[in-house]
Structure 1
Amino acid sequence: MSQQAERDRLVEIRRDLHRHPEPAWREFYTTARIVEELERIGVDDLYVGPDAIAEDARMAVPDDEELDEWYEQAREAGADEDVLRQLEGGYTGAVAVIEQGETDGAPTVGLRVDIDGLLRAESTDEDHEPAAEGFRSEHDGAMHACGHDAHATIGLGVLEAVKDSDFEGTLKVFFQPGEEMIAGGKSMAESDHLADVDYLLAAHVGLDHPTGEVVAGLDGFLAVSHFRAEFEGVPAHAGGEPNEGENAVQAMATAVQNLYAIPRHDDGATRVNAGQVGGGTATNIIPEEAFVEGEVRGETTELKDYMKERAERVLESAAEMHGCEVEITTNGEAPSAESDEELVSIVGDVAGETSGVENVVHRDELGGSEDATYLMRTVQQNGGKAAYVGVGTDHPGGHHTATFDVDEDSLPVGIDVLAGAIRNISAERP
């Protein structure tokens, strides 16, 4: 296949995924489409849905009604029904495995790519390429605003490139659901599939790096924990007998104010945010229910834990102050991690010799959170090595904006760098 024909095929896959963005645990069409390509490529082992993850480690799973709605939407879009049946209940994602050459004593190398979309509307502007070229999101209120359609495509391309090479060993590609909600990494990290992985790479497009630039190792992952606090009070007539009520909205409001008063820590950066709040039913009723959804972050896992413990103390104290009860749920969580220098050096060397790469940045800071860190830390704690790679891409809008898009010239660059690094990692065994 010519380079142009290969690029066209990658673009076709990426655009199909872009038209069908699906959020955490609702990646039904996405998983089925990935499985279709994996079967075309031909893999030695393929684990789909509940066979790809640790079921009890899923976080932020939607209710059955919402899952059924997205499931039916995928079916109507033409997703393979045999695959869909394996994904019922929101058990999405896949792990693909190839084994080549003399595998006895050879390393197992992993690649993690995320596959979920975001719950936000995509631009309809004429100068937004997906709208102009006819591959804008077909799902109202959802889009691929962070490049995970490109990540899934790159994962498929790497698998095929390695399969057609002189690679010796085992390659596992983890097509992970639920990254945007920090909800899926733990379930893949705790699956049996990661236990024998000696080296792991993860990758992301963009991140303020242009097409032609590769970051060999990203660090600066903020550990994060998402929470939902539900306050329950006592209703009363707001005009006739307000003293008989226990105001849940007051408790929620007190909690929001005091969350932002948590002291910073001298060991490093910490963050807190109350991103969504609500409560009450009418102006003349003392509210009996209220909620706040938010997050805490830390430069290290320990700093995140510091913020989480104090946030929970604030929420519980606010409820007690106003005579209410509070139930706190963790909706998503991820630790911090660091890229191992041995892998960063290999990626950097490969990138420097890859066509289309104009600049190699040895290391950079992510400055945000990513649940690939669960997989990275698991491999590292098992005695292996891990690194997170940045593949530059020009994008007209920032990540998570309505006009975000991926420069499709970055797809073959990402594939060539990652496939080359995987081959060299297996050969060098750093």
Structure 2
Amino acid sequence: MNKDALIAIRRDLHKIPELGFQEHKTQKYLLDYIHSLPNERLEVKTWRTGIFVKVHGTNPRKMIAYRTDIDGLPIEEKTGLSFQSEHPGLMHACGHDFHMTIALGVLTHFAYHPIQDDLLFIFQPAEEGPGGAEPMLNSEIMQQWMPDMITALHIAPELPVGTIGMKPGLLFANTSELFIDLTGKGGHAAFPHTTHDMVVAACSLVTQLQSIVSRNIDPLDSAVITIGKIASGTIQNIIADHARLEGTIRTFSVESMEKVKKRIEDMVKGIEIGYQCKAEIDWGSMYYQVWNDEALSKEFMEFVQNETEIQLHVCKEAMTGEDFGYMLAKIPGFMFWLGVDSPYGLHHAKLSPNEQAIFKAVDLICQYFEWKGNK
């Protein structure tokens, strides 16, 4: 596949972002392209809006998997690009259009040039939510085609093109959404003594939540609790009977995640008593930490340094979340950051990665799979 074809695919996909498990146009586009490839060694199966593609090797001893995510985000695009999103309020603001294009580029190479080992390409829906990796991992297809190792990448706007970021061990954090509904008793602003004010209760709870990390988590560990949205009330002179808090929790250890959630539950019970209300907690989507296999990661890093022109940046772990962690919990493998040199970060309405990074990634992964799959 030449560079012009890769750019055309990326721009086509960028125009049609879709939310998790709604990626119907995206799935059709991917399938149409996959079915255009030589099919002598390809075996294609669909799962919901996702796709599995197995490339049968010439003398297989193991199966190597490559995973890409395919969904977009509920963000109104503001890039001004000629190929910007055609779906109002939706955008590929996390680089999944890049991820898919890279996967198709690698798949194309091995459809024409198979290696000894089997390859499995996984086009996974719903990474941004509600989470597609875990159910896809547990699907009958994946159980039948369980790989021996698995890899993936994620674009990194802050890194230059031609650079990857990686480290063995923890790369991305454990994450959980957080939704808290408080229900009390509303009334007239002139008679507060007859009400149970949920604006006051919500404000008190937000303040209390900020003490959890500072007074319950080991200072040498890391955790974050962010309340990003509060919704309550209807007008200035009515005391609200309901408030909803929406936020996120991120931790570098599973144990800290459990501790944070227990403390949130305790504080919410206190709010119920103190403000005479009822409370409900919904943890929403929860993602397991991305933990790179030590041996495979070091082997890949050495390969990059010794066999390619790609610059390796040994990065630190990040508080970002990725449901690829569920796959790494069961299958040895790794994820790495791909430098795309954008002034705007992930989930930004003006994110515009440098398309030259696509070619770098395709070449790197093809070289690595040829080296790894013919050993």
Structures share a fold, TM > 0.5?
yes
Q: Name the structure 2 match of 1:71.
A: none
* Structure 1 position 210, deviation (Å): 0.8
Q: Name the structure 1 match of 2:363.
A: 416
The separation in 1 between residues aligned to 2:343 and 2:194, in whole angstroms, is: 55
The separation in 1 between residues aligned to 2:230 and 2:313, in whole angstroms, is: 40
Q: Name the structure 1 match of 2:75.
A: 120
- C-alpha spacing 1:217/1:167, structure 2 compared with 1 (3 Å): farther
| Match for residue 23 of structure 1 among 2, 10, 19 | 19
Q: Name the structure 1 match of 2:226.
A: 273
Residue 165 (structure 2) pairs with residue 215 (structure 1): yes
> CA offsets per residue over residues 309-340 of structure 1, 9 Å max, x none?
21232233223321211221122111223212
- C-alpha spacing 1:269/1:403, structure 2 compared with 1 (3 Å): same
Q: Name the structure 2 match of 1:189.
A: 137
- C-alpha spacing 1:351/1:331, structure 2 compared with 1 (3 Å): same
Q: Name the structure 1 match of 2:53.
A: 96
TM-score normalized with structure 1 length:
0.79
The DSSP-based 3-state class of the residue aligned with 2:53 is: strand
> CA offsets per residue over residues 40-69 of structure 1, 9 Å max, x none?
22473333243xxxxxxxxxxxxxxxxxxx
| Match for residue 7 of structure 1 among 3, 6, 21 | 3
The DSSP-based 3-state class of the residue aligned with 1:11 is: helix
RMSD of Structure 2 on Structure 1 (CA): 2.3
* Partner amino acid, structure 2, of 1:177: P
Residue 279 (structure 2) pairs with residue 329 (structure 1): no
> CA offsets per residue over residues 122-166 of structure 1, 9 Å max, x none?
2255xxxxx2xx101222222222211000111111122222224
**Correspondence list, 1:4-403, <5 A:** 6-41=2-37, 42=39, 44-50=42-48, 92-103=49-60, 106-125=61-80, 131=81, 134-181=82-129, 183-195=131-143, 196-217=146-167, 219-239=170-190, 241-262=191-212, 263-266=215-218, 267-352=220-305, 357-362=309-314, 364-379=316-331, 385-403=332-350
In structure 2, the gaps of 5 or more residues are none
* Partner amino acid, structure 2, of 1:288: D
The DSSP-based 3-state class of the residue aligned with 1:261 is: helix
The separation in 2 between residues aligned to 1:246 and 1:352, in whole angstroms, is: 63
Moved over 4 A (4+): 352-355
The separation in 1 between residues aligned to 2:293 and 2:315, in whole angstroms, is: 11
In structure 1, the gaps of 5 or more residues are 51-91, 126-130, 380-384
330-339 or 269-278, which moves further after superposition? 330-339
The separation in 2 between residues aligned to 1:100 and 1:8, in whole angstroms, is: 28
Is the Cα contact below 8 Å between 2:250 and 2:319 reproduced in 1? no
289-298 or 311-320, which moves further after superposition? 311-320
The separation in 2 between residues aligned to 1:416 and 1:217, in whole angstroms, is: 21
| Percent of paired sites with the same residue | 27
* Partner amino acid, structure 2, of 1:123: K
* Partner amino acid, structure 1, of 2:4: D
The separation in 1 between residues aligned to 2:364 and 2:79, in whole angstroms, is: 33
* Structure 1 position 363, deviation (Å): 5.3
* Structure 1 position 119, deviation (Å): 1.9
The separation in 2 between residues aligned to 1:201 and 1:114, in whole angstroms, is: 12
The separation in 1 between residues aligned to 2:59 and 2:310, in whole angstroms, is: 35
Q: Name the structure 2 match of 1:405.
A: 352
TM-score normalized with structure 2 length:
0.89
* Structure 1 position 182, deviation (Å): 6.2
The separation in 2 between residues aligned to 1:303 and 1:7, in whole angstroms, is: 45
* Partner amino acid, structure 1, of 2:338: V
* Partner amino acid, structure 1, of 2:161: T
The DSSP-based 3-state class of the residue aligned with 2:211 is: coil
Q: More strand per residue: 1 or 2?
A: 2
* Structure 1 position 191, deviation (Å): 2.5
